[in-house]
Structure 1
Amino acid sequence: MTVTIVTTRLQEVGVPHMVWPAMSPDLNPIEHVWDQLKQRLDARTPPPRDLADLHVALVEEWNALPQNNIMRLVRSMRRRCQAVIAANGGNTRY
């Protein structure tokens, strides 16, 4: 129900929508953002000691992620989808 409401609202305000292949989470640029976040967390010294430290570290590192990297990933979506289509749904370099 919520998905339908959100989809309808996005259409009403003119936000472009992309049909997403069901088994293609690797296309999603957020996966690369999570990887960048993990790398930043792994590089922290000292590492987070407990859940509270982890929460603080996650917020700090999330806020420090370079926006140009995220925009580069978003802009790569057309190329990502074209590569998957060209590979007939097979593996791509992405």
Structure 2
Amino acid sequence: MFVDKNESWILQEDNDPKHRSKLCRAWKEEAGVVTLDWPTQSPDANPIENVWAFVKLKLRGRKVHTLKQLCLQIRGIWRSLPREYAEKLVESMPSRCQAIIDSGVDRTKY
């Protein structure tokens, strides 16, 4: 999404095992994707947690009876996220990283 704006971008992802799998690591290496070393268990500093909180908020009160309905609802909410929202989360990364450095711990105000 943001490659057009900045050719030298770095991927930030959590330390979930699927992101560290041989297949995933090989794909990222082949694609030239550079990843940011990131502390484990730091949900406050992970912008995707803000997105999931937003999705949960939007799901509240909706009638969902099956897994298929839930998936459709989540996809719809995800696709309706404003581009500006995603950009704001990405632009907050320098502040998030600095907050981690300043606090010396994994949890921050985010």
Same fold per superposition (TM over 0.5) = yes
Matched position secondary structure for 1:89: coil
Structure 2 match to 1:59: 75
Query: 50, 62, 84: which one pairs with 2:66?
Result: 50
Q: Equivalences for 1:1-94 in 2 at 5 Å?
A: 1-11=22-32, 15-44=33-62, 47-89=63-105, 91-94=107-110
**Could you say which structure has the larger radius of gyration?**
1
Note the alpha carbon deviations across 1:44-91, whole angstroms, 9 max, x for none. 3xx212222212211211111122111111111110010110111254
Structure 1 residue runs without a partner (length 5+): none
- Identity, in percent, stands at 35
> Taking structure 2 as the reference length, what is the TM-score of the superposition?
0.68
> Taking structure 1 as the reference length, what is the TM-score of the superposition?
0.78
Counterpart-to-counterpart distance in 2, 1:10 and 1:82: 28
Q: Is the 8 A contact 2:100 2:107 kept in 1?
A: yes
Structure 1 match to 2:12: none
Q: Is the 8 A contact 1:37 1:65 kept in 2?
A: no
Structure 1 residues 10 and 83: alpha-carbon distance in aligned structure 2, compared to 1, 3 A threshold: farther
Matched position secondary structure for 1:93: coil
Structure 1 match to 2:15: none
Structure 2 residue runs without a partner (length 5+): 1-21
Deviation of 1:6 after TM superposition, in Å, equals: 2.9
Structure 1 residues 56 and 5: alpha-carbon distance in aligned structure 2, compared to 1, 3 A threshold: same
Count, aligned residues: 89
The Cα RMSD (Å) is: 1.9
